Structure 1
Amino acid sequence: MAKPDVRDEAFLREVDDEYRRSQFVGFWQRYGRMLAIGIVVFLVALAAFLFWRQDRARRAGETGERFNLALTQVEAGNFTGASAVFADLAKSGTPGYRALAQLMQAATAVQSGDIPKGLTIYRAISADTAIAKPFRDLATIKATRLEYDTLAPATVIERLKPYSVPGDPWFAVAAEMTGIAELKLNHPDRAAPLFVAIVRDQQSPPSIRNRAAQLAIALGTDPASLIVSRTSTSGLAK
């Protein structure tokens, strides 16, 4: 059997290398410019993203420092200085800090005696759908408490209906205001269950639970006996 000629193998390798080289050159001539532009665009986009992320973190840190400084001013009783910082952050801060700054701006206005200004800010926060729901809910509760005595009971009940449900973060506060509004409308049968629910809710603040218990008893319902009765009935059912 004849052995393959070494010179033929070398020639074939040269032909194959030259063919691959010509393919590469052709590919580069056709797509090289586009590929180079794509790489440059990717690197520029990556650099821009990294810069944006670093700048965002830096600005968030600066905003946090200013916010904490304003809180310190509030604790020191310097409501004027704190209000100026909160007002600025409410316009230029990051979304979360903007909402917090607006809430604090309203709170400092109320603490300094300017209740109409604080109420106006709370209403604006509550109506701003661009703000996260927890902030808007807090603003709604705060505004309702501020103007509670001037609102029609039916308005209070309707406004606080979404929050007067056990399990809602604002249940205790909303249910108490709703229950009192029901009493103003001479609906003790609707108010009593709300007060009992507050007493049963272990997440309710102790002060609100105590007031709710007193109101429930005044309406002829003992929340403690209801809880015991309910527990006993559950045990018998088993």
Structure 2
Amino acid sequence: MALTPDKSLAPDDKRARAAAAQNDVLLREVDDAVRQDQYADAARRYGRPALIAVVVVLALFAAYLFWNSRQDAARERDSEALVGALDQVERGNLESGATALDPLIADGTDGAKAAAQMLKAGIAMEQSKPDDAVKLYDAVAADGDAPQALRDLATIRGVTARYDRLAPADVIGRLKPLAVPGNAWFGPAGELVAMAYLDQGNTAEAGALFAAIAKDKGTSETLRSRTRQMAGLLGVDAIDDVDTVLNRPQAAGE
């Protein structure tokens, strides 16, 4: 560090004062030189790694922007393909609609691929090709990259497509994890499980499950009405509010 001039010298000692001033200047120059060396050393030691870090961060950010733009483009492309296939199906062109889905199934993003498989399976059911539909449903259900909601729906649809060929225990085993209150698919999964209980002769379990579905506010009114009737036939009261049930509009088919 720089030293301050020694003021203890006698005023009349000019030589001593001059020497002190020269020493002070010299010490300041040495101090500045040391500081410059320290800055240079710090720049050599930390400047290059810091620069590399900045370059890496910028490169990663640029890569993310590129990836995001590619993802947006892929989603837009897949959406257009799905809409095009749906248009064909709505016009009754099932075969061309199914064909339009093949590129998505082969090379679409995870969600679009699963949606395309579900749509193609539905087309297969319309064409009375349940085996083809079951293969597609099972593929979605087993796809760990597909959205969980679609995987669960595919499981339900796959069981529905071959219900008559499955043992009741198999139906219950596949769908019981979904047939619980609070699950998004409680209604449709629970109805199939309850029917499997009936096929086993387990009327108590079937009636209780039908009643639970009938009381579930998250289930569609049509399904609640149907399961309420089934619960009543099995001797289980599934009505919480009699006045509401008596005064509600009758659903089609009741």
Structure 1 residue identity aligned to 2:90: E
Aligned residues: 227
Say whether 1:153 aligns with 2:168. Answer: yes
Aligned partner of 1:67 in structure 2 is 82
Aligned to 1:22: 37
Is the aligned partner of 1:111 residue 2:126? yes
Following the alignment from structure 2 to structure 1, what is the Cα–Cα distance between the partners of residues 189 and 121? 20
**1 or 2, which has the higher helix percentage?**
1
Note the 1:56-205 alignment, pairs <5 A: 56-205=71-220
Percent identity, aligned pairs only?
36
Q: CA separation in 1, counterparts of 2:64 and 2:155?
A: 37
1:74 Cα offset (Å): 2.2
Cα 1:103/1:10, change in 2 over 3 Å: farther
Contact 2:86 2:97 in 1 (8 A): yes
1:24-67 deviations in Å (ceiling 9; x for gaps): 33344555555544444443333223222222222222222222
Unmatched 5+ stretches in structure 1: 230-238
Which piece of structure 1 moves more, 143-152 or 80-89?
80-89
Instruction: Report the Cα distance in structure 2 between the residues aligned to 1:220 and 1:40, rounded to whole angstroms.
Output: 73
Query: CA, structure 1 residues 10+71, in 2 after alignment: closer, same or farther (shift >3 Å)?
Result: farther
Gaps of 5+ in 2: 1-6, 10-16, 243-254
Q: Using structure 2 for the length normalisation, give the TM-score.
A: 0.77
Matched, 1:13 2:31: no
CA RMSD of aligned residues (A): 2.7
Following TM superposition, by how much is the alpha carbon of 1:205 offset from its aligned partner in structure 2, in angstroms?
1.5
Amino acid aligned to 2:136: I
Q: TM-score, structure 1 length as denominator? A: 0.82
CA deviations 1:196-225 (Å, max 9, x no partner) are 11211122212212221222222233322x
What SS does structure 1 have at the residue aligned with 2:219? coil
